[in-house]
C-alpha cells in the first residue's frame, strides 16, 4: 500500500467500504446461531476483520483528505484550484444540471394559452382563461445544460489526470 496514487486510494477506499458492509452483514450471524449450525466465521474473527478494514479506511481517507487539500490543478482560466475545490465544483455542477433538467420549459417564451372550466361553488362553473409563459425556453435550457456538461467533463478530466499522477504521502505511504 506504499506510494499509491490518489486513484488507487479511491479504488481501495471503495473496496474497503464493500468489505465493511460485508463483514457488518455477517456480524449478527456470528453472534447468534442455531445450535445445529455453527457460524462460518467466529465473532472475534469478524470483529477483527471489521477493525482492520476500518483502520485502513481511516488511514486512507485521512491521507486522501490531506492530498485533496494540498494538491491542485489548473483551471481552464489558468488559476490554481485545490482538488477539494475541484470535487466540490463537480458536485455543484451536477446539482445545477439536475435542477435545469427538472425545469419545465416551452419552445417559446409565451408558450401556451387556453381555458379550463373550474367549479366555483354554489354559482356553478366558470371558464378561466390562462396564458403560460416561461423565462427560459427549452432550447435556452438545453444550451445551458450543454455548457455545464462541457465544463463538468473538462474539470473531471483534469481531476482524473491529477488523481492518476499525485501520490499519497504520510507515515504509511
Average pLDDT on 74-85 reads 90
Does residue 1 register a pLDDT over 60?
Answer: no
Q: Could you read off the pLDDT of 106-125 as tens digits, one per residue?
A: 888 776 666 677 776 676 77
Contact 2, 173 (CB under 8 A): yes
E strand residue ranges, the chain: 72-74, 80-82, 110-119, 125-133
Beta bridge partners of 140: none
Amino acid at each position: 500500500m506504499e506510494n499509491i496514487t490518489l486513484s488507487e486510494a479511491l479504488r481501495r477506499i471503495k473496496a474497503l467500504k464493500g468489505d465493511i458492509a460485508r463483514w457488518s452483514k455477517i456480524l449478527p450471524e456470528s453472534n447468534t446461531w442455531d445450535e445445529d449450525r455453527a457460524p462460518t466465521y467466529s465473532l472475534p474473527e469478524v470483529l477483527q476483520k471489521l477493525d482492520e478494514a476500518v483502520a485502513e479506511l481511516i488511514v486512507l481517507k485521512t491521507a486522501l483528505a490531506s492530498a485533496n487539500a494540498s494538491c491542485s490543478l489548473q483551471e481552464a482560466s489558468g488559476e490554481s484550484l485545490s482538488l477539494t475545490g475541484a470535487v466540490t465544483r463537480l458536485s455543484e455542477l451536477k446539482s445545477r444540471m439536475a435542477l435545469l433538467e427538472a425545469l419545465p420549459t416551452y419552445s417559446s417564451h409565451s408558450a401556451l394559452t387556453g381555458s379550463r372550466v373550474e367549479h366555483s361553488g354554489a354559482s356553478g362553473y366558470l371558464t378561466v382563461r390562462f396564458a403560460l409563459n416561461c423565462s427560459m425556453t427549452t432550447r435556452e435550457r438545453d444550451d445551458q445544460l450543454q455548457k455545464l456538461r462541457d465544463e463538468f467533463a473538462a474539470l473531471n478530466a483534469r481531476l482524473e489526470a491529477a488523481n492518476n499522477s499525485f501520490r499519497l504521502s504520510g507515515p504509511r505511504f
